[in-house]
Structure 1
Amino acid sequence: MGNQTLTTIAASGTVAINTTTADSTAVLPRPVRRVLQNFLLVWLDANIDESNENFKKPLQCLRRIVATITTFTDVDECIDFLSGIQNEKVFMIVSGVLGRQIIPDIEACAQLESIYVFCDNQSIHEQWTKTVPKVKGVYTQIEPICEALRIDRENCDRAMISISFNGIDALFMYTQLLKETLLDIEDDDAKSIREFVDYCRLQGDIDENHIDKFEREYRLHTPIWWYTGPYFIYSMLNRALRLMDVDIILKMGFFIRHLHQHIETLHREQQSTNTMTSTLFQVFRGQGLSIENFEKMKRTKGGLMSFNNFLSTSCNRNVSLEVFARPAAFAGPYSVGILFVMTINATSCKKSSIAFVDVNKHGQKTLPPNHPDLASSYNNIGSVYDNMGEYSKALSCYERSLEIRKMALPSNHPDLAASYNNIGMVLDNMGEYSKALTWYGRALEVQKATLSPNHPDLATSYENIGVVLDNMGQYVEALSSYERALEIRKIGRPSNHPDLADSYNNIGLVYNNMGEYLKALSSYQRSLDIRKVALPPNHPDLATSYNNIGVVFKNMGEYDKALSLYEQSLEIRKVALPSNHLDFAQSYNNIGSIYKCMDEYLKALSYYEKDLEVSQKALAKNHPDLGKSYNNIGEVYDKMGEYSKALSYYERALEVWKIALPPTHPHITVVNGNIENIKKRL
């Protein structure tokens, strides 16, 4: 990401801007100590035993992310602990059984940031957690929890900076005065560093290895390196500034002074060499705000806001929006995603005491180029681009991640299989089916070499291969792959397990594409029967089943039955899902398609426009699914004889697909044909 983002840091520790409103650490049972970080990790499990081998590996993994883990086996004690938290955000790991018991009592807790359900039976607990926004996922292994926790921790630190919404308020002035005092202090840096390190060790809230590294290597790296690196400095300093914890601010005074001086020095160098080439330029910052702070911000329209810290921003709007702001918007009902857009006048800043630097041009590097953690970072960025529909960028990130993993890991490491799988997934989305099949095959080979013959991950790989073969029109081969996945799941799962329903659903998809509609209905019905037994009555997967059966009836020309099933699917989604969920776009699209088939074009247009409205809110502006929405609306206008409007929507679809898809993709061929036909009529 270093080549994609320009980061600036305000050296003064406070920034005021005009505002506008736009559309080997210990695992402690009950610690009573000074908290130095913005977050706490709580683990609730009736069977937790720190001496048990089943818990040692998870604890080791989690310690790399959060130094101190507070464990509980009793629900009431855990609730008492959470109710006493005021200034920190809480990440919580909970077993499936106790999660079901405690979450209704704690989900409204403002300090509870994220919940990760850690259990043996993923599908059962996914049923009730889908309606709890703070549940980030249901996991059967600790590694994906660690990865999710790493990302959520970064977002938490980012969101918990100190912002004043009352213009130049008391906090802003106190911070300025304290900063100026610290900058004037001349003390013994060596002594200050030693006292700071000793203080951190006494608190027990920071990874001992990170403290040792700081003590041993402080002079070997720049202050910006320490501030932007994956250590405790950023979180600890910003927490102290947010709470005006003078004790910690004074103990970190030497670092604040060094960081300020370093930024000022770089600022002068970059200004003199015209590193900032433009007089005016924009930077962006994405983060979450609480509902309370969001309301305060809206009331400051036309006034001043102040960021009372060393502020980090980016020149890449998409990264700020998709990596930080958009996830905050979907974090739950208590969070609002914000994208700050700041216009910097470099000429005016020359007269200001506030310095800023382009950190990337300073060449900050926190990890060696082939470190496995960098592979994870590239993988995460790739996932963001993938969700945005920017498949070429996603592919580039996934390939970089793979390069690092190949150098750092043995040839049959599971992370390599994950990389092969991710690359295959993007290529499938791009319509590069042969290439996708090759990469999925590589993932499968690694899994065959490292996993038991009936491991669930093998079933997932066979399903992925089946999807590609289905897209290629190789239906017999796709059916064989899906049936292999079903065989594995029958061995490891009970007969009414939801995973079996997924397999029957996929087999139904193939039969539908083969035109064998009765067999498709049979498979879809088996999937629906299992889901009715295994899932609650308004589970989203039931909506999927009714939707898919509706597709078959549509293909059979039984439009009334199809419409009834689509509407039944939509009603479940209205109960089970938030109003901006992308599944609504599918429902509106399918209902619109039925009305189009029935020649009721105005109704079709109404539902297609609802589909587009949801998609525009949920997807990036060049996501290929938006192209589908534009194309569908164009087809309705085409049917209605409104050729100018049809042409406009076809061209918008083509514009999106040209950016998101390779030039040989079938969607581009279809819309080019539509445009050519329309132009003949105009």
Structure 2
Amino acid sequence: MSRASALYDLGVQCRELGQYARAETLLRQALALTSGNSPRDLALVADASNDLAILFKHTGRYDEAAALYRRALTISRRVLGSDHPRIAGLYHNLGGLEHARGSLAPAERFARRSVAIRERALGPDVVDVARDKAALAAILTDAGRHDEAAELLADALRVFERTPDCESHEAGVVWHTLAAVHNRSGRPDDAESAYLHALDVKTAALGPDHPNLAVTLNNLALLYHRGGRHERAKATYRRCLDLLAARTGEPEHPVWRTCTSNYARLLTELGQPAETRSRLGPQDGCSDDDLPDGVAAE
């Protein structure tokens, strides 16, 4: 194994553990050491660019992520052609990035391309296609197309339930999105159950302190907040913020900004002193909406 490949593998491991600063250093080093034009070198550049883009998307550096995803897509098309499952994975990731930016129309286009390419290559009943359908469902949920989203989520869950490792992070993301569908359809009790199950599944897959739990914690806290369960909302917001502060080191992280603002609003409603709220820092990301979750294609 080359040094660049070893650095890449270690960078991916650190990213998956939520060790984002270390992962960025390793992935940049892998890219710097890969300068050839052989198929192997080009594949490594595409893979490292994709993984670095995933990291940047998780930490809110969306423009950098977009440039790296497109670099990976250009290289991968040249090496693999336009209909390879790896191309579908990059469309999946671009869709997730546009979704995070709130650009639903391009997000849906990318997500549908991902589903179409992967279904043609692999058939409809594999985990990768289920993951693509779940990502598309999350986009449709935010677009208010709840029935279509629920149908896609049911398809995805059937695949996960037939898969030996169905208690995976991917399954947790499906449950998170299903909770959002329930919530926006006026079923808060079903939403709470689904968010709690999503947390259980994601915690089992990632551990209790992984930053990818934060988006589900924020949405669960917001559900409690809306339902007048203020003490439970406070505890859940705090858990979300503590987790992000400890693991990402990024006060500009989009989930951090949203959760901070939602928590500050709750404290205001409860008459908490201004100095208590001021310790939370900038509060410009307030959102009445559930945050989307997503799994990047590796």
TM-score between both structures, scaled by the size of structure 2? 0.76
**Residue 285 of structure 2, aligned match among 670, 679, 682:** 670
The CA deviation at 1:577 is 6.4
**Residue 633 of structure 1, aligned match among 263, 277, 287:** 263
Is residue 460 from structure 1 mapped to residue 92 from structure 2 by the alignment? no
1:509 aligned partner: 138
**Residue 222 of structure 2, aligned match among 593, 612, 620:** 593
Q: Cα deviations across residues 443-495 of structure 1 (Å, max 9, x unaligned)? A: 11211111154322111111112122223333222212112211222123243
Is residue 647 from structure 1 mapped to residue 278 from structure 2 by the alignment? yes
The CA deviation at 1:600 is 1.9
Q: Which has the higher contact order (CA 8 A, sep 6+)?
A: 2
Conserved 8 A contact 1:528-1:545: yes
**Residue 433 of structure 1, aligned match among 33, 45, 62:** 62
Over the aligned positions, Cα root-mean-square deviation in angstroms equals 3.6
1:500 aligned partner: 129
Equivalent pairs counted in the alignment come to 281
Provide the C-alpha distance between the structure 1 equivalents of 2:101 and 2:80, rounded to a whole number of angstroms: 28
The CA deviation at 1:595 is 0.7
1:275 aligned partner: none
**Residue 238 of structure 2, aligned match among 585, 601, 609:** 609
Is residue 519 from structure 1 mapped to residue 148 from structure 2 by the alignment? yes
Residue 228 of structure 2 aligns to a residue in which SS?
A: coil
Q: Call closer, same or farther: CA 1:633–1:424 in 2, change over 3 Å.
A: same
Conserved 8 A contact 1:375-1:402: no
Give identity over the alignment, percent: 17
Q: Call closer, same or farther: CA 1:441–1:536 in 2, change over 3 Å.
A: closer
Conserved 8 A contact 2:133-2:152: yes
Is residue 448 from structure 1 mapped to residue 82 from structure 2 by the alignment? no
Q: Which runs of 5+ in 1 are unaligned?
A: 1-60, 62-371, 655-667, 672-682
Provide the C-alpha distance between the structure 2 equivalents of 1:461 and 1:564, rounded to a whole number of angstroms: 32
Provide the C-alpha distance between the structure 1 equivalents of 2:74 and 2:19, rounded to a whole number of angstroms: 29
Q: How does 1:472-551 map to 2 (within 5 A)?
A: 472-535=101-164, 538-551=167-180
Q: Call closer, same or farther: CA 1:580–1:473 in 2, change over 3 Å.
A: closer
Provide the C-alpha distance between the structure 1 equivalents of 2:166 and 2:52, rounded to a whole number of angstroms: 36
Provide the C-alpha distance between the structure 2 equivalents of 1:485 and 1:504, rounded to a whole number of angstroms: 9
The CA deviation at 1:540 is 4.8
Q: Cα deviations across residues 59-118 of structure 1 (Å, max 9, x unaligned)? A: xx5xxxxxxxxxxxxxxxxxxxxxxxxxxxxxxxxxxxxxxxxxxxxxxxxxxxxxxxxx
1:565 aligned partner: 194
Q: Which runs of 5+ in 2 are unaligned?
A: 287-298
The CA deviation at 1:506 is 0.6
1:553 aligned partner: 182
The CA deviation at 1:532 is 2.2
Provide the C-alpha distance between the structure 2 equivalents of 1:572 and 1:425, rounded to a whole number of angstroms: 21
Q: How does 1:60-459 map to 2 (within 5 A)?
A: 61=1, 373=3, 377=7, 380=10, 384=14, 387-390=18-21, 394=24, 398-399=27-28, 401-406=30-35, 408-410=36-38, 413-429=42-58, 431-459=60-88
Q: Name the larger-Rg structure.
A: 1
Q: Cα deviations across residues 228-282 of structure 1 (Å, max 9, x unaligned)? A: xxxxxxxxxxxxxxxxxxxxxxxxxxxxxxxxxxxxxxxxxxxxxxxxxxxxxxx
Structure having the larger proportion of residues in strand: 1
Provide the C-alpha distance between the structure 2 equivalents of 1:533 and 1:564, rounded to a whole number of angstroms: 22
Higher deviation after alignment, 597-606 or 449-458: 449-458
User: What residue identity is the alignment partner of 1:373?
Assistant: R
Q: Call closer, same or farther: CA 1:575–1:468 in 2, change over 3 Å.
A: closer
Q: Cα deviations across residues 27-85 of structure 1 (Å, max 9, x unaligned)? A: xxxxxxxxxxxxxxxxxxxxxxxxxxxxxxxxxx5xxxxxxxxxxxxxxxxxxxxxxxx
Structure having the larger proportion of residues in helix: 2
Residue 125 of structure 2 aligns to a residue in which SS?
A: coil
Provide the C-alpha distance between the structure 2 equivalents of 1:639 and 1:506, rounded to a whole number of angstroms: 34
TM-score between both structures, scaled by the size of structure 1? 0.36
The CA deviation at 1:502 is 0.2
Conserved 8 A contact 1:375-1:400: no
1:71 aligned partner: none
Moved over 6 A (4+): 574-577
Provide the C-alpha distance between the structure 2 equivalents of 1:382 and 1:501, rounded to a whole number of angstroms: 23
